[in-house]
Amino acid sequence: MANLAAPKFSLNVGGASSSEANSENFEALTARNYEAAGEVKNPIDYVELFEDEAKQITEELTNGLTQLSMLSIVGMPGIGKTTLANPIYQSPLVPLHFHVHARCCVTQLYQKRRLLLEILQQVNARTEPRHGLTDDELAEELYRSLKGKKYLIFFDDLWDTRLWNDTSTSFPDDNMGSRIMFTSRFHNIVSQIERKSITYPLNPLSEVTCWKLLEVKLFQKECCPQELLGVGMQMAINCKGLPLAVDLVVGLLRNKERRQDCWEQIANSLNTHLLADQQGRCWGILELSYNHLPNYLKPCFLYFRAFSEDEEVPVSELMWLWIAEGFVQPQKDEKGSLEDVAKKYLSDLIARSLVMKTKRGSLGGVKASRIHDLLHDFVLAKAKEECFMEEINGYEHLISPSCVHTMSKPYRLFVHSRWMDGAAITKPSAVRVRSLK
């Protein structure tokens, strides 16, 4: 592909946690594992695919206009909204132009209190606990923390106008040049917010661009073999212009021999799953990717059900949870510790485009990971379907008849610690539960 003139934004990968004291050996091993798994070292920067939008958004954030304004990036699931917005938010320009900034993932199950606490922690990290404050007191503290400052707030994955209706009074307009940026899959949200706003719609990629992405990610600087061109292009067309779909197809093909019959087998399965996909959200490709996972990787992938959408999971924590659950089992004659095997599992999931690395270490290995919000939706549904894991989200939920019935099914329960006081889960009500998080 030709070099595009879009500004390049580097992801912030700094900041090691204390729980990763032995990370250097881990990073070195995972860096080697990625090469063995066939991961592309220098994938196409998705910001380049939307260079015009990237330039316009950056200019709007830093243009010097003093009125508080809103910027929205909208498009269908898997189109690359967050992938575009994150590097812009994390670029060095942000701390240069804004006194404070905060980013939070909204999700469909929006909770005002959690969101207020999350923003306050980023713009005013005081040491005194805030959990004793009411929602109104938190909203007032946020207003005071932002008053007289130039701020940038990034809401990722906005589903409706409830968030803005509930929190708009906490964002002062002091003519300081503050900005509020959000991503959403719904185009009509902007028209419902009574505030100066600019919308940047992301359209599906062309079929040619989808094919070029697929070819570069699979073959890097080489060309696709002639006998694979036809079937490869057809799979690219079936991605419907979604970068996420391209990544998932690449993840499927990386583990297959580069033979025409192998690719045709994947293409036929892809067609079948796409015809059955009533939601049009890459669900068919996700189902196919999951079905092609080795059995030992399926529970590792589903375990992301235990984490919230957009949550960065330290790799060391994830690795030990997998081991504690008994998911990690060395193959016959396989050398290395359980930790080594767990690292290879993670490398494989990343190479299949099912897990994203979000923080790198100095040696090139991964320090934190997460899954795409669309994949998180899939994991929620699949974990429930397979009775893999269930969440207890509130005391009322815990004591409800439906919850008692639900708890008799899954093998794993995770309960938010804030709800555990005074609650008891007994064996008769959770007869199949093997682990509690």
Q: What is the mean pLDDT of the chain?
A: 79
Please, which pLDDT band fits residue 338 given cuts at 50, 70 and 90? very high
What pLDDT does 276 receive?
A: 64
Q: 158-191 pLDDT, tens per residue?
A: 888 888 888 899 999 999 999 999 999 888 887 7
Supply 169's token pair.
């009074």
pTM of structure:
0.75
pLDDT higher than 80, residue 38:
no
Contact 166, 116 (CB under 8 A): no
pLDDT higher than 50, residue 390:
yes
What pLDDT does 405 receive?
A: 46
Supply 117's token pair.
């606490």
Please, which pLDDT band fits residue 422 given cuts at 50, 70 and 90? very low
What pLDDT does 272 receive?
A: 80
pLDDT higher than 50, residue 419:
no
Supply 278's token pair.
């009533």
CA-based R_g, the chain, Å:
23
Q: Average of pLDDT values for 402-409? A: 49
Q: Which residues of 348-374 are buried (b: 16+ CB within 10 A; e: fewer)?
A: bbbbbbbbbbbbbbeeebbbbbbbbbb
Parallel/antiparallel/unpaired status of strands 100-105 and 69-74? unpaired
Supply 172's token pair.
């002062």
pLDDT higher than 50, residue 204:
yes
Comparing 125-134, 143-152, 317-326, the range with the smallest average pLDDT is: 125-134
Please, which pLDDT band fits residue 193 given cuts at 50, 70 and 90? confident
Q: Average of pLDDT values for 325-339? A: 86
What pLDDT does 332 receive?
A: 78
pLDDT higher than 80, residue 144:
yes
Residue 283, C-beta contacts closer than 8 angstroms, at least 6 positions apart:
277, 378
Q: Average of pLDDT values for 79-108? A: 90
C-alpha span between 130 and 276 (Å, rounded): 48
C-alpha span between 288 and 311 (Å, rounded): 25
pLDDT higher than 70, residue 404:
no
What pLDDT does 262 receive?
A: 93
The residue that leads in pLDDT, 430 or 4, is: 430
What pLDDT does 42 receive?
A: 39
The residue that leads in pLDDT, 272 or 61, is: 61
Supply 238's token pair.
């079936």
* Alpha helices (H) along 239-328: 243-254, 260-275, 283-291, 298-302, 315-325
168: left (phi over 0), alpha (psi -120 to 50) or beta: alpha
How many CA atoms, within 13 angstroms, populate the side-chain half-sphere of residue 435? 14
